[in-house]
Amino acid sequence: MSKVIALAGKGGVGKTTVGSLVLRYLSKNGLGPVLAVDADPNSNLGETLGIDVTKTVGDIREDFMKDPQGVPSGMDKIVYLEMLMNQVVIERKEFDLLVMGRQEGQGCYCMVNNILNRFTDDLEKNYKFLLVDNEAGMEHLSRRTSGKVDMLLLVSDYALRGLRAVGRIYEMLDSLKLSVSKVGLVVNRAPMELGKTFLDEAARIGVEVLCTLPNDDRLLDFDMERKSLLELPDDSDAVVAIDGLMEKIFKIINVK
Ligand SMILES: Nc1ncnc2c1ncn2[C@@H]1O[C@H](COP(=O)(O)OP(=O)(O)O)[C@@H](O)[C@H]1O
Ligand SMILES: [Mg+2]
């Protein structure tokens, strides 16, 4: 069964950055096959990985709902939707990428959602690792039939507001149809040492700090130059931090 590593946190705290560096680690160490799922409607995982995303699962759903009769004649609609879904999976040497895209509008999406969800469930079975970059509500995760998450990384910046968002997600976990085995906190743009107020708040929420990521100007340079974070040098501060995080995670979730 694939190991599922998921990311959640407030917008702008660094989920996609951390996710990209997790993918960098998995691919550099030949730990594939890996499926990256961009489940944030404000998707940008493709961008940080230097991948041009032209179509998302959301686009397929909307196109189909706009014109349900548009299925080529003689073709079953399930076969048709699955064919379109296959085209949305972007295959790369290092990993595959599935972008969920916009969330559904109004109307009855049950039938099409069922077909698309079943496709993603089946697809996910082919991978050793799944990396899911989420929006705060983690809707994609709770829709999966297995609902299994091995490691949920809650990302916060070094601010109480980010941490409170983490607290809200943590509290919400029980109400989701999810079975989350382990939860850890990643503090992004953090100083060398975390202050007492911040640590006390993390302890109150009940999440362990697994990793602190320093501010790394190279990340901004890469962003400005539209370069893939996969190309970051091994000695960049952020890469070193995430490599350390991955070693910790592998111990926690028992990856040999
Ligand atoms: N440790 C860091 N040092 C410098 N810049 C960072 C760092 N982490 C994230 N950033 C920058 O902050 C912005 C938001 O990060 P991003 O990962 O897209 O957040 P999220 O996915 O949570 O919305 C990006 O432009 C990214 O390059
Ligand atoms: Mg993001």
Give the CATH number of domain 3-252; options: 3.90.76.10, 3.30.70.20, 1.10.10.10, 3.40.50.300: 3.40.50.300
The CA distance from 92 to 96, in Å, is: 5
DSSP string, 172-226: HGGGSS-EEEEEEEEEES--SS--HHHHHHHHHHT--EEEEE---HHHHHHHHTT
Ligand 2 centroid from CA 31, angstroms: 23
Long-range contacts of 63-68 (CB under 8 A, 24+ apart): 64/112, 65/105, 65/107, 65/109, 65/112
Q: Report whether residue 163 contacts ligand 1, using a CB cutoff of 6 Å.
A: no
Q: What is the pLDDT along the chain (256 residues), one digit of tens a residue?
A: 899 999 999 999 999 999 999 999 999 999 999 999 999 988 899 999 999 999 999 999 999 999 988 999 999 999 999 999 999 999 999 999 999 998 887 778 888 989 999 999 999 999 999 999 998 778 888 877 778 999 999 999 999 999 999 999 999 998 888 899 999 999 999 999 999 999 999 999 999 999 999 999 999 999 999 999 999 999 999 999 999 999 999 999 999 8
CA-based torsion, 28, 33, 37, 38: positive or negative: positive
Model confidence pTM above 0.85: yes
| Ligand 1 pocket check for 43: Cβ under 6 Å | no
The residue contributing the CA closest to ligand 1 atom 8 is 14
Ligand 1: atom nearest CA of 155 is 22
For residue 58, report the distance from its CA to the centre of ligand 1, in Å: 25
Output the six-digit token pair for 28.
Answer: 């550099």
What are the sequence ranges of the domains in the chain? 3-252
